[in-house]
Amino acid sequence: MIFFFAGISDRDLIHGLRSVKVPFTVTLIISMTFRGLSMFQQEYSIVREAMMTRGVEFKRASIPKRIKNFISIFIVLIVLMFKKTEDMAASIESRGIPLRSKNRTTYHYFPIKKKDYAILIGLFILLFFSIILSLFNKSFVFLFLELL
């Protein structure tokens, strides 16, 4: 999953979901979730660095003190996320994006090609073999090494 999310952009994910007829509202929620996660990670590092510049110890502190420090960080992050959510809601509303409309237009169109179907079938075969091998407590690496 890490390679999937590292190699795909928000736009690719949205177009992929819309091309398999996922409703626009669900697609928007999924997109906002992934965008929110990346913003959450960035804000976490900023808040943690700000606390460290004020002299808060994270590595050498006792466990109760660490828990208190992380609770302080998450309270700040929750407030920041509410502000960002409010900004996003205002921008969605100002752009006039209809959540219930079936006539949503898209700027980009990516038709599914034969190559995409081949990759999808290959991934399903890989998933099938992974499940079968996990039932026998094997892995692809060990199976490959046994074949050599």
The pTM is what?
0.48
Report the share of the chain in percent with pLDDT over 70: 82
pLDDT for the residue numbered 121:
95
Picking from 80, 4, 96, 83, the residue whose alpha carbon sits closest to that of residue 46 is: 80
pLDDT (tens, 9 = 90+) of the chain, 148 residues, equals 666 666 777 778 778 888 888 887 788 788 777 777 777 888 888 988 888 888 888 788 888 888 888 888 889 888 888 888 788 778 777 776 665 655 555 566 678 889 999 999 999 998 898 888 888 777 766 776 777 6
Q: What is the maximum span of the chain, computed from C-alpha positions, in angstroms?
A: 61
Rounded to an integer, what distance in angstroms lies between the CA atom of residue 46 and that of residue 70? 13
Checking phi first, is residue 21 left (phi over 0); if not, alpha (psi -120 to 50) or beta?
A: left
